[in-house]
């Protein structure tokens, strides 16, 4: 499946903006000049600009060329489906991952409780601890449906599970529903994390769905409060 023209154009300008080739506050070329340079129709150009706008890179308006937004406004560590590796890259913080446990769960009652809905077959349980500067600050508990992920090599868990799922298994991840709450730390948190003085954790629960709308993963990510930060760009809803 070839990449669409408008995605190509989008990526090109996204890159230019991210790399700072176009300073914030600068204007993009007009739609007509973009049509000219790429030899495409206006609709195609506008689709690219739509993507740039939706992802917070530019702001558009009648009668004026698109404006490049300040960088801060499009670096969302968590509002997209981002794995720890990606967040890590953005924050420049050296971090390490330790696999605590990799197991297979068969008790359908227990599985249903974790996923908060019934799931066919077995699931992998992957528990990992994330370390920053030698402090254990994040506890990740991932659960994968084995009907979709039949094998989960241990060495892939140490790097990026998402990379393995998308590139090796060819899974098309579509969207995830995430919920953030703050809870009292439990025994497991105290055992596996360096909690220091803190007695609470930030809990990010997420359910991840494929293109064909099937639930295939859920995650519970428990953060020490000082190591948690979420940035979001909220647009006025129609």
User: Which residues lie near DNA (CB under 7 A)?
Assistant: 1, 4-7, 28, 30-33, 39-44, 46-47, 49, 60-66
Provide the pairing of β-strand 95-105 with 123-132: antiparallel
Residue 234 binds which entry of a copy of itself, DNA, none, CB below 5-8 Å type-dependent: a copy of itself
Residue 134 binds which entry of DNA, a copy of itself, none, CB below 5-8 Å type-dependent: none
- Residues 93-122 close enough to bind a copy of itself by CB under 8 A: none
Residues 6+ apart with CB under 8 A from 78: 87, 178, 204, 230, 231, 232
Q: Tell me the closest approach of the beta carbon of residue 52 to a copy of itself, in angstroms.
A: 10
For position 206 contacting a copy of itself by CB under 8 A, the verdict is yes
CA dihedral 145, 146, 150, 154 (to 10 degrees): 70
> What six digits make up the tokens of 128?
């990992």
Residue 131 binds which entry of a copy of itself, DNA, none, CB below 5-8 Å type-dependent: none
Q: Tell me the closest approach of the beta carbon of residue 55 to a copy of itself, in angstroms.
A: 7
- From CA 167, how far away is CA 25, in angstroms rounded? 37
- From CA 43, how far away is CA 36, in angstroms rounded? 13
CA dist 152 to 83, 143, 192, 231, Å?
17, 11, 23, 31
- Could you please report the per-residue DSSP string of 188-216? HHHHHS--TT--EEEEEEEEEEETTS-EE
For position 174 contacting a copy of itself by CB under 8 A, the verdict is yes
Q: Which stretch binds a copy of itself (CB under 8 A): 34-42, 78-86, 101-109, 119-127?
A: 78-86
Q: Tell me the closest approach of the beta carbon of residue 103 to DNA, in angstroms.
A: 33
Residues forming contacts to a copy of itself in the complex (CB under 8 A) are 7, 10-11, 43, 51, 54-55, 59, 61, 67, 72-73, 78-82, 173-183, 198-200, 202, 206, 211-213, 225-226, 228-238
């Amino acid at each position: 499946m070839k990449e669409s023209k408008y995605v190509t154009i989008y990526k090109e300008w996204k890159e230019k903006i991210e790399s700072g080739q176009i300073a914030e506050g600068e204007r993009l070329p007009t739609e007509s000049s973009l049509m000219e340079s790429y030899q495409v129709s206006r609709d195609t150009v506008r689709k690219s600009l739509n993507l740039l706008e939706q992802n917070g890179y530019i702001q558009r308006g009648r009668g004026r060329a698109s404006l490049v937004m300040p960088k801060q406004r499009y670096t969302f560590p968590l509002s997209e489906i981002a794995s720890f590796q990606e967040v890590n890259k953005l924050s420049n913080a050296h971090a390490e991952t330790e696999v605590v446990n990799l197991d297979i769960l068969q008790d359908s009652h227990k599985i249903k409780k974790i996923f908060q809905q019934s799931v066919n077959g077995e699931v992998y349980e992957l528990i990992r601890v994330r370390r920053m500067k030698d402090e254990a600050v994040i506890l990740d508990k991932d659960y994968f449906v084995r009907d979709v992920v039949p094998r989960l090599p241990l060495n892939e868990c140490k790097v990026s599970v998402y990379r393995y799922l998308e590139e090796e298994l060819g899974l098309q991840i579509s969207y995830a529903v995430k919920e953030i709450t703050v809870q009292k730390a439990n025994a497991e948190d105290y055992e596996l994390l360096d909690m220091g003085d803190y007695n609470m954790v930030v809990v990010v629960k997420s359910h991840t769905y494929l293109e064909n709308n099937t639930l295939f993963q859920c995650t519970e990510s428990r953060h020490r409060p000082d190591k948690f930060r979420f940035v979001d760009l909220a647009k006025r809803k129609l």
